[in-house]
Every structure is written in C-alpha cells, then in structure tokens.
C-alpha cells in the first residue's frame, strides 16, 4: 500500500506545479514581463487664444495669457511652465509681422505677432 501512495502524491505535486506555471503565465493582466513603452516628449503646442497677438507701434511684446502644452509619445498632453520665449526679433517701433519662438526641453513652436502703425494714413498698405 505504501507504494501506491507515492505515485498519487507525486501526481498531486505535478498537478500543483502545472497549475502554478499556468497562474504565473497569466500574471493577472500584466504584460508578461515586457517593459511599458517609455513616455517621451514628442512636441509642444503654444496656445495664444488668451493673449494679445496684435500690437500698436510702441507697445512691448507681452506673453501674458500664453499657454504651452507638452505632447508625449503616448498621445497624452500636459500644460507646462518653465519654457523660454524668444521675442528678440520683435521691434515695437516697426509695423510688421514677427515670429515668436517658444522652447521647452529642446522642442519648439512658434506663432506670429503683428505690430500695426495706427498713425499711418492707409493701414492696408503697411506691409
């Protein structure tokens, strides 16, 4: 009788081992040991809806109201601060269109600001 218990006991261990392997393979919804894709900054977008983008001659460039959004490789977005604004080409004394560049973590976006000379007799011929 003792020899019959050993094969039965060995069979229980085999069943438990197979069950354990199957459970480990399932891992309750995990990605089977693969690492999640890294979330990288893909680009930025500047929102100028809340700021003034048309100035009169003599007015300084004012970035108040500008918002910058980071766009990541997984398509998520996040409002950010700590960006740099380059308005070095803006000349408040000359009516023209000026490109303002915004940089955040080596990603850039740009938008236009217009300077108008309201004292000119014909505004349509300023540019």
CATH 1.10.20.140 assigned to domain 41-125? The reply is no
Tell me what the mean pLDDT of segment 98-123 comes to.
Answer: 92
**Residue pLDDT, tens place only, 47-69:** 999 999 999 999 999 999 999 99
The reported pTM is 0.67
- Average pLDDT of the chain is 81
The whole-number pLDDT of residue 108 equals 98
Residue from 104, 110, 112, 36 nearest 71 by CA: 104
The whole-number pLDDT of residue 2 equals 53
Helices (H), the chain: 2-26
Residue 107 pLDDT greater than 70, yes or no: yes
**Residue pLDDT, tens place only, 80-92:** 999 999 999 999 9
**Residue pLDDT, tens place only, 5-26:** 555 544 544 454 444 544 444 4
The whole-number pLDDT of residue 119 equals 84
CB contact at 8 A, 39 and 74: yes
Domain extents in the chain:
41-125
**Residue pLDDT, tens place only, 23-52:** 444 455 555 556 667 899 999 999 999 999
How many CB atoms neighbour CB 117 within 10 A? 15
Residue 122 pLDDT greater than 80, yes or no: no
């Amino acid at each position: 009788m003792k020899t019959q218990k050993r094969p039965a006991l060995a069979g229980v261990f085999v069943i438990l081992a197979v069950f354990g392997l199957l459970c480990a393979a399932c891992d309750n919804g995990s990605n089977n040991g693969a690492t999640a894709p890294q979330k990288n900054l893909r680009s930025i977008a500047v929102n100028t809806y809340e700021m003034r983008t048309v100035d009169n001659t003599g007015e300084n460039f004012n970035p108040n109201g500008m918002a910058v959004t980071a766009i990541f490789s997984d398509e998520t977005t996040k409002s950010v601060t700590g960006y740099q604004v380059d308005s070095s080409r803006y000349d408040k004394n000359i009516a023209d269109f000026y490109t303002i560049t915004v940089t955040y973590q080596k990603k850039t976006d740009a938008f236009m600001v217009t300077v108008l000379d309201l004292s000119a007799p014909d505004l349509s011929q300023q540019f």
